[in-house]
Amino acid sequence: MTAPIDQHARIANGIISVSRQMFALGEQIQDLNQNWQNLSSANALNAMPTAPLTPTGALDAADGTPNPAHPIDTRTTDGATIERAISANDLAGLLTFLNGIHGAVNGQAVTANGAAPQLIAKCL
């Protein structure tokens, strides 16, 4: 059975809408990337206080020195405005993933990023 024309129109409009969203997302990613570079965010995030996670996922005792593989300690003044305990390394990985989306929006080839699902899950 053939679908009614209004269903096809909804699909077409959905494609148009998502395409507009992808364009806007590409612009947002470009802005994030430029600010990341211009403000040396990687260096600043790497220097923030960190703490390992307990087996239950809570922040443990603070590290003696920042460890970019451990989540930024959101209990500290520096980390309090970051909405989720996530490591500087993971943030850099997420930006790499986002830059791939930006590249795709601009017609560039994008390589697979196998870490993306796990990194995105840390933001949910």
For 65-105, give the DSSP string: S--TTSBB-TTSTTTTTSSS--BHHHHHHHHHHHHHHHHHH
Whether 1 is covered by a domain: the verdict is no
Average pLDDT score over the chain: 93
Whether 41 is covered by a domain: the verdict is yes
What would the mean pLDDT of 41-46 be, rounded to a whole number?
A: 96
pLDDT tens for each residue of 53-110: 999 999 999 999 999 999 999 999 888 899 989 999 999 999 999 999 999 999 999 8
Write down the pLDDT at residue 1.
61
Whether 54 is covered by a domain: the verdict is yes
Domain total of the chain:
1
Write down the pLDDT at residue 25.
96
